[in-house]
Amino acid sequence: MIALDYAFCLKAGEAICPQENLEAFCSALGQTLNSLASDTRCQILLKCEQNSDWKQLAEIQGDQYELTLPSIEVKESTQSLLQKLLTADDHKYYSDQHYLMVPLNMRGEILGCLVISTNEEILDDAHAKNMLALLISGALDSHLQHQLLACEQAKHKNTEKKLVQEVCSQKGLLEQLHILHKISLRLWHAHSLDNMLHTAVYECIHALDFDRMAIFLLNSHTGLLRGTYGTDINGTVTNEQWYCTAIHEHYHAKTTLDKRRHITINEGCELYHDNKVVGTGWNATISLWDGDEPIGWIACDNLLSGTPLKSYHSELLKLLGVTMSQHLIQRRAQDDLKALNLSLEHRVAERTAQLEEANKRLNQISREDSLTQVPNRRMLDERLEEEWRRALRYQTPLSILIVDIDHFKQYNDKYGHALGDQCLTQVAEALSQVERRAGALLARFGGEEFVFLLPGSNRENAISVANRALEAVRKLEIPHGDSPVAPIVTISAGGKTTIPEKPNNQQQLFIDADVALYEAKNAGKNQAFVL
């Protein structure tokens, strides 16, 4: 029979409390239990915080122990034994073994339990058992907290290490981006496409984190690939414009473009020059785009120095591709613009005379009524504003006459719009011959209305012009069977003479002339009335 008393508890406390780690704790506990009986075996089980499951932390027998961090799921047999021990009375004897379960509590919560098994019967004292539980709980909790702290410290150190690496990587990327920006500025100042391509290859291999570089341009319509500038196996920039081949002969480039990738990087691969393997390392294929159209690609590798691929290489090379694409697009646009300018200068020189003549004609058309060939309303408005300012400045009379063809709607209804247009043309021709003095203007006002602008004319002269206009139209003797006025086409005229008193008051002149026209029509038409 084994006695678990105060003496054993003191011995166990002296053994396990000074230990510095879980391994030493398990070894000391095993040796102490082994002093009870040589076949004593124990298990340290932990209670899961999330659920009611148990996990095994350690299995100890004498000097031998098995410590598992993190703890592992217990076997089904152990789980079944636990259930029996948790519900057992004082008799704890199963399968030819005597068991004692020591509950481990910490801070008012169940931490786990210690299960002791032996062939001999275990006689335990309740107070001694509680003391043993308290000693083991404290020591175990301390070691577990220390272990957790050590893990957190390891994670923290690992995080710090990664942070330092990331900061170094970011610093390297910023330095490379600064260099790439300087290279881009030099490319903007290149005086030709050829010079730009040579500068790009030379500057990149001397300043960026790779050894060799070559730029290829693609004709997407023919599928042909043309070399520009590249580097040989010694890192010397060479002219490779003689190189021309089909895109399908370059697997990596074709795959990158077909899959619309910006970059493809391969590590630990064979590196080529002139279709021969010259070494191993990493290489990158960077696609060049003009919108959705591929225009070429860049190849680069680390053949010479074997510089390892860095975390920022992917972003750096993508930006290199974007930068080169922009420069190629801009340079092509400039070259196309120069060619277009030369062509346009030649064409402009040939057509200058034609354009001048066309402008003259356009100016005339814009101020001329297309049907009657007399000035239109735009011309009338411009001339009226000009003559109004002159009459206002010199206080000279200014007259206008509004002429309207009598019953023109009935004429159109009876004879049709073709003869109506012919009638308008004849009337316009006749009216244009009525007043030939300098400054006088006849314009079509709209529809069947015409306007005489008579600068320097008083009321008597305006009446004279109106009467001559009436007579000129009568002499045409254009038949008008539906007119209640006369069997021929006639007109009515209303006029107004004024001496301007303030600027921009031309509208009132038209209103008064329109009132006079109304009086002429109301009096029976085929007559004139001038205010």
| 116 and 220 assigned to the same domain | no
pLDDT level of residue 252 (50, 70, 90 thresholds): confident
Residues 147 and 242 in one domain: no
pTM score, whole prediction? 0.43
More reliable by pLDDT, 342 or 93: 342
For residue 380, give the 3-state DSSP assignment.
helix
- pLDDT > 90: percent of the chain: 42
Question: Do 319 and 388 fall into the same domain?
Answer: no
The CA distances from residue 119 to 64, 284, 365, in Å, are 18, 71, 125
Helix, strand or coil, per DSSP, at residue 461: helix
Tokens matching residue 4: 């678990």
pLDDT at position 88, please?
65
pLDDT of residue 122: 81
- Count the domains in the chain: 3
Percent of the chain with pLDDT over 70: 98
Of 6, 71, 61, whose CA–CA distance to 29 is shortest? 61
What is the pLDDT, as a whole number, of residue 428? 95
- Confidence band of 128 (pLDDT split at 50, 70, 90): confident
Read off the pLDDT of residues 59-96 as tens digits, 9 standing for 90 and up.
888 878 888 877 888 777 777 777 777 776 544 666 67
Look up the CATH number of the domain holding residue 260.
Answer: 3.30.450.40
State which of 337, 362, 385 marks the end of a domain: 337
pLDDT at 355: 79
Q: Is 254 within a domain?
A: yes
For residue 524, what are the domain limits? 377-530
Q: Is pLDDT at 307 greater than 90 in this prediction?
A: no
pLDDT digits (tens, 9 = 90+) for 281-299: 999 999 999 988 999 999 9
DSSP string covering 215-277: EEEEETTTTEEEE-EEE-TTS-EEE-TT-EEEGGG-HHHHHHHHTT-SEEEEEEEEEEETTEE
Residue-wise pLDDT tens digits, 440-488 = 999 999 889 999 999 999 999 999 999 999 999 999 999 999 999 999 9
Average pLDDT on 47-64 reads: 81
Is position 156 within any domain?
no
Residues 324 and 397 in one domain: no
* Confidence at 372, pLDDT banded by 50, 70, 90: very high
- The pLDDT of residue 106: 82
Quote the tokens at residue 75.
């076997």
Q: Are residues 382 and 286 part of one domain? A: no
Clarify whether residues 434 and 493 are in a common domain: yes
| Same domain as 21, residue 134 | yes
Q: What's the CATH number where 435 sits?
A: 3.30.70.270
Tokens matching residue 523:
């009096």
Token digits for 489? 């086409």
Among 8-12, 363-367, 515-519, which is the least confidently predicted range? 363-367
Q: How far apart are CA 434 and CA 442, in angstroms?
A: 9
Most confident of 92-101, 172-181, 189-198: 189-198
Residue 89's pLDDT is what?
55
